[in-house]
Structure 1
Amino acid sequence: MVLALQIILVLASVIMTVFVLLHKGKGGGLSSLFGGGVQSNLSGSTVVEKNLDRYTIVTAVIWVACIVALNLLGTYGS
């Protein structure tokens, strides 16, 4: 159980890092490298950006849940 949570935590960390880097920032971020910068400047908030926000939030919730579960398992045993 602990090993599975640790694997999920690592995967969620990597995925969340990629999602955060794909967000459009003041300078455009990495999203402008993949062609997202020009389109998002023309149309404001796109469906892709909204979905990216949702995916980032879901990944962050999974990440926090894994940390809490690992802490509880470490404290009270499995």
Structure 2
Amino acid sequence: MNPLLIAVLVVWALSGIGLIVFVLLHSGKGTGVSDMIASSLYSTQTGTNIIEKNLDRITIIFAVVFMVSLLVLMVIYPQGHIAQ
């Protein structure tokens, strides 16, 4: 395996894990029973605060890095297998 493949695979895997983590960190936007209970305990601001905006930006960055690394892998190995 060449170093470029290893580097792209590492970036792809880390960005995938990071994307999963940051998507799960987002607060729910639902209107179910759990949201009604939680809204009485927390403030009911409908706008996003600075933490939510930064979380959105980080999630978008991870998604872009994931997609770019996936496209690079598709260009490097179009047949889907790695010759040994």
Range class of TM-score, shorter chain: 0.7 to 0.9
What TM-score comes out, normalization by structure 2 length?
Answer: 0.69
Identity %: 31
Cα distance in 2 for residues equivalent to 1:4 and 1:50: 30
2:27 aligned with 1:38, yes or no?
no
Q: Is the radius of gyration larger for structure 1 or structure 2?
A: 2
Corresponding residue for residue 22 of structure 1: 25
1:59 aligns with 62
**Alignment length (residue pairs):** 68
Q: Secondary structure of the equivalent of 2:78?
A: helix
- RMSD over aligned Cα atoms: 2.4
Higher helix share: 1
Q: What 5-or-longer segments of structure 1 have no aligned partner?
A: none
> Out of 38, 48, 51, which is 2:51 matched to?
48
3-state SS of the aligned residue for 2:27? coil
Does residue 1:72 correspond to 2:66, yes or no? no
More RCO (CA 8 Å, sep 6+): 2
- Which runs of no fewer than 5 residues in structure 2 stay unpaired? 80-84
Q: State the TM-score, normalized to the length of structure 1.
A: 0.74
